[in-house]
Amino acid sequence: MNIKITRLGRVSSSTKQVGKYVRLVVTDPDLCVGCMSCMFACARRFPEGGLGRTAIYVRSVGGVERGFTVVVCRACKDPPCAKVCPTKALIPRSGGGVILNPNLCIGCGNCREACPFNAVQWDVYANKPVICVHCGYCVDFCPYGVLALEEVA
């Protein structure tokens, strides 16, 4: 896989060229201060406040003094979460990761178990996964450059 780091920060429609895909990347978790602004940004897409539905998750690695870990879908080319979905609600997305069809999803939670990064977050109200769509909205709200969008070749 040939990935070019572009650090676009934001992908405007003009940079989204035909045939090019982007994915969200965690550039360096050591830059993370744990402010959760990315998580709140993701929730605003739904659109709402709070943290009920957010596809990105930040937690300390065992005491904030040791830093944080930023957990988000890494856009697998061959996503294990899609493989274990019994209803084909999760379909591999061109460029990596998956797309959720909520109408097909029965909330079995297999996808959550299958992801080795624990990157499948859960919407407890709907009882369905919250899937990162790699839109990059959170990138705009990370003042520390922890997050970026990069092109997937």
Task: Catalog residues that contact other proteins under the rule CB under 8 A.
Answer: 33-37, 40, 43-44, 46-53, 57-60, 62-65, 67, 124-125, 141, 143-144
CB of 43 to other proteins, least distance (A): 7
Are 75 and 96 contacting, i.e. CB atoms less than 8 angstroms apart?
yes
Residue 139 CA to residue 144 CA, distance in Å, equals 10
Smaller CB separation from other proteins, 61 or 106: 61
Residue 122 CA to residue 146 CA, distance in Å, equals 23
CB of 83 to other proteins, least distance (A): 27
Smaller CB separation from other proteins, 37 or 110: 37
CB-CB neighbours of 86 under 10 Å:
10
Q: Strand, helix or coil at 82?
A: helix
Are 98 and 119 contacting, i.e. CB atoms less than 8 angstroms apart?
no
CB of 63 to other proteins, least distance (A): 6
Per the structure block, which two tokens stand in for 61?
Answer: 């690695």
Cβ neighbors of 142 (< 8 A, separation 6 or more) are 37, 38
CB of 72 to other proteins, least distance (A): 13
